[in-house]
Structure 1
Amino acid sequence: MELNKNIRTITIQIICLLYVMLFVYAAVSKLLDFENFQVQLGQSPLLSSYASYVSWMVPTLELLIAFLLFVPKFRNYGLYACLCLMTMFTAYIYIVLHYSSFVPCSCGGILEKMSWNVHLVFNLFFVGIAVLGIVFSHRYKTENNSLKNKLSPAKTIPFSILLSIFFVIALFLSSEEIMHHKNPFIRRYIKRSVHLVHSTDLKYNSYYFSGSSTGKLYLGNYTTPSQILSIDTSFKFQQRNKIDLNGHRIALGAIKTLVREKHFYLMDGTVPYIYAGSTENWKITSHLKEPPRFTSAEPIDKSTFIFRNNSGVKSANILGTYSAENGTKIKYAPDLLIQQIDGIFDTDGMLLYSNKMERAVYVYFYRNEIIVADKNGKLDYCGKTIDTISKAKIKVAYLKNETVRKMSAPPVMVNSQSTLHNNLLLVESKIPGFYEDPAIWKHASVIDVYNIRKNSYILSFPIFEIGDDKLKSLFLTDRHLYVMIGTKLLMYELRENLKKEMETD
């Protein structure tokens, strides 16, 4: 009998010693590399939204529990605290492995060398010895009549485990809601979202993305506007297509060609004109009559466009729709773009259109706002990019009796490039968020992904520079992301997490 008591006492002391060593080591490791620990928490699928609190709370709790275990008077409370905290860690790993959209990096220290599955077994072992310690401690105190009117471990242990698991599940669900819909400017980097499969050197930097059709990407060229370069998805076959003007004359201005499946549009908003034809023979077959002047335009169908020009009050930017069917019809939507300072620079941005969603999207350059409207120019909603710059940080100078406006200081660029396909919007951001690695911003362009149907932020990933050349433009299709960096054209394959998010049916 006495031998059993000694064995239980020694076992309890060993368990407490193991936990003290684990928690002290873990806490000190976190505090010594605190900045990196915060960055890792910021990328956690469960704790991103609470990283600033959890980064201090976890090492503090670990040290406090180690103190409770070290003092015999508080040892029983310490063992229950061990059980709860280690159960939370275990539940966290299980959710990450089975229910998270991605698996983040480990937590640092010696545990960083473990895989997530090994880490799960490691945690379960410590959960088990915490249970053993509580049971032995309860028996020891019962035999010494020092424990009276207390609940037995058979009731308190399951309750502690279930409460800890429920807490982690609640944390996961609330964090996901905050990250996707109320983001406090914490990016969720998932580097394996795209995978580079092909690249080629275009030799010239005057190319731009015109569009795509099944199995083909089309590139326009500003210096030779009547030529379109088509490239297949294997990057093995390239073909130069010359647009047959069919007797039409084009003025050399801001000419641009857009390709949408089997149709192309040769247009210039400064003249203005819009010609249309088929990619089967690259011959202009129609001339859309009396289009408005425009600074940006996107085709809705063969005879209807959504556009932006400077016809607003005091030459402010304004969006509108133009239809050449059954007579020219131009309809402006003056309430879509909201003026903050001057109406031109502060409302400058990128106009995009999703045929599948039948939605126009406008991404502002200098503020964290996204406008989503239907094909008739009626507002659906005003969304937000995840940064916090809600008012454009620009300074405008008015010259020549206020007839000329110019930027009087470099503006703070928020959103630089964007591309839209189906329900996914990709935006190159210029503003670092919380808990981010500065090296990423030094050597890469950061792409944020949004779901415009859900009005939610999804994830972020970097596109690394090539030498001194930075990202120039983006183009998204069902399966690929195309990128221009300098004179290089790169094709990235979308990984499963993005494919699942994109609506293609």
Structure 2
Amino acid sequence: MSKRVLILLSIIVGAVFLIGLLCWLEEVKANHLNGFERNFLYEIPIKKAEWSIDRSDWYVAGFTGEHIYVANLEFLNYLIDVNIVEKETHRVMVHIGASWSKPRLGAALMVLDSSFYIADGSSSIVFLGGIENWEVEKTDTVRTRFDIGIPISDSKIILRLVRNKAFMLGISNGKTLNINDSLLTQQDEGIMSMDGLMKYDRRQGRFVYTYFYRNQFIVCDSLLTVLYRGNTIDTVQYEKIKVGKPDRNGDVRMSAPPLVVNKQVAIDNAHLYIASGIRADNEGRKANQQNAVIDAYDLSNGKYLFSFYIPNEYQEKLSDFRIIGSRFIAVYSNKIVMYTFNVSKFDNTTY
């Protein structure tokens, strides 16, 4: 046997060994146990209606009675009004005014009762109007820049802002700004480890901050007084992210895809619902890949209650959701889908 043939055989054997090793490592990774199990409600959600949407970046901006309002991060001058009883939709034009013709980075539109708000942190402005005509009636100036703003009343807004290379939360009434600099905590990767989702439930008077990259959420009252710090049922206590070097503008970005623990959040009927990115030990890999898993917690004390699946629609993953009684409103990149559940199971499940 010639030397050339031996070299060729060695290369083939090495390549086969390497492919086998990679497949084995992938299998080990897929079957890795995460150290927790879920209490599933094995009830199939019933699809009641669906509506096509023509762009991505849609999110649930709020609801009033039988109407769900779905807004777009790129085009804040119109939204979709979904009538969940009549199962109809129509587009609504929002009249902002010529002085603010383009959405800024981080700006968002929200609907709260009979009012709508547009919070633009880069310009330190909050617009307020009524949903009866969708026209801006009032413009408030906030005394600081912010990247997220959640209105809790016509006169107060909870803000997330950056101070000393860290995220902080504050409350503004237009005249004064009270900052809580100890509510959010950093881990190894600095400010990126503090990133998360902000939700406010007006009926309960509860503000919730849920970290993206660790198993923790913080529940506060309307004055940002911490009521308790809760943990999601997974075991990811520390972020698993890699942050690159700052660019010329000082902006920091991820250098590798992060492990997202908590993807989306909703509050309804004193329950906190979190769409989780972590597979439990009693979940099949295929089921986890084909569905979004929603974990429910008691908002009063943070106790884990139960979990359920919402299917991926047309191979599209859930991008936002809202729960209203027995209705689950799911937003995908090109669809809005309404499911229903037996709500008594949510209220009467034995834990």
Counterparts in 2 of 1:261-272, with a 5 A limit? 261-272=113-124
Counterpart in the other structure of 1:317: 167
| 1:211 maps to which of 57, 62, 66 | 62
Equivalents in 1 of 2:348, 2:44: separation in Å? 11
Within the candidate set 71, 76, 96, 1:220 is matched to 71
Q: 1:299 aligns with which of 141, 144, 151?
A: 151
- How far apart are the structure 1 equivalents of 2:296 and 2:345? 9
Partner of 1:475: 322
1:406 aligned counterpart, secondary structure = coil
Cα gap change, 1:404 to 1:220, in 2 (>3 Å): closer
Amino acid aligned to 2:254? M
Q: Which amino acid aligns with 1:321?
A: I
Alignment-derived partner of residue 215 in structure 2: 368
- Bigger fraction of residues in helix: 1
Counterpart of 2:285? 438
CA pair 341-277 structure 1, distance change in 2 beyond 3 A? same
- Residues 352 and 498 of structure 1: CA distance in aligned 2, closer, same or farther (over 3 Å): farther
Query: Deviation of residue 210 (structure 1)?
Result: 1.1
- 1:227 counterpart letter in structure 2: Y
Does structure 1 residue 274 correspond to structure 2 residue 274?
no
User: Following TM superposition, by how much is the alpha carbon of 1:206 offset from its aligned partner in structure 2, in angstroms?
Assistant: 3.8
Cα deviation for residue 198 of structure 1 reads 1.4
Indicate conservation of the 8 Å contact 2:45/2:310, yes or no: no
- Report the Cα distance in structure 2 between the residues aligned to 1:399 and 1:229, rounded to whole angstroms: 38
Residue 76 of structure 2 is aligned to residue 239 of structure 1:
no
Work out the CA distance in 2 between the residues paired with 1:186 and 1:277. Answer: 46
Q: Which residue identity is paired with 1:289?
A: T
Whether 1:308 aligns to 2:155 is: no
Deviation per CA, 1:277-309: give whole Å up to 9, x if none.
Answer: 111121211111234322212111011111212
CA 1:343–1:234: 2 relative to 1, 3 Å: same
Asked if structure 1 preserves the Cα contact closer than 8 Å seen for 2:71 and 2:78, the reply is yes
What is the deviation of 1:259?
0.5
Q: Take 1:422 and 1:347, find their aligned partners in 2: how far apart are those partners? A: 27
Q: What is the deviation of 1:496? A: 2.5
Q: Does 1:408 align with 2:255?
A: yes
Question: Please, which of 28, 31, 41 is the counterpart of residue 190 of structure 1?
Answer: 41
Alignment of 1:31-110 (within 5 A): none
Identity of aligned residues (%): 26
Larger Rg: 1
Aligned residue for 1:397, secondary structure, equals: coil
Among 180, 198, 203, the alignment partner of 1:351 is 198
Q: 2:271 aligns with which of 415, 424, 432?
A: 424
Query: Residue 141 of structure 2 corresponds to which residue in structure 1?
Result: 289
Question: What are the Cα deviations for residues 315-369 of structure 1, in whole angstroms up to 9, with x where unaligned?
Answer: 2111111112xxx111111111111123311011101111111111011111000
Over 3 Å counting, the alpha-carbon distance change for 1:248 and 1:477 in structure 2 is farther
SS in 2 for 1:346: helix
Residue of structure 2 in register with 1:448 after alignment: 295
1:56-205 aligned at under 5 Å gives the runs 185-192=36-43, 194-205=45-56
* Residue identity opposite 2:206 in structure 1: R
Amino acid at match of 2:126: I
TM-score by length of 2: 0.83
Work out the CA distance in 2 between the residues paired with 1:404 and 1:227: 30
Are the aligned partners of 1:450 and 1:458 in contact in 2 as well (CA < 8 Å)?
yes
SS in 1 for 2:245: strand
Q: Cα distance 1:190–1:237, how it changes in 2: closer, same or farther (>3 A)?
A: same
Q: Match of 1:420, SS? A: strand
Alpha carbons of 1:464 and 1:388: their partners in 2 closer, same or farther (altered >3 Å)?
Answer: same
For 2:170, give the aligned amino acid: G
Partner secondary structure for residue 289 of structure 2: helix
Greater CA deviation, 382-391 or 236-245?
236-245
- 1:457 maps to 2:304: yes
Select which of 329, 339, 342 maps to 2:189. Answer: 342
Deviations 1:11-35 (A, max 9, x none): xxxxxxxxxxxxxxxxxxxxxxxxx
CA contact (8 A) 1:273 1:288 kept: yes
Which residue is 2:3 aligned to? none
CA distance in 1, matches of 2:243, 2:144: 27
* Alpha-carbon shift at residue 235 of structure 1 (Å): 5.1
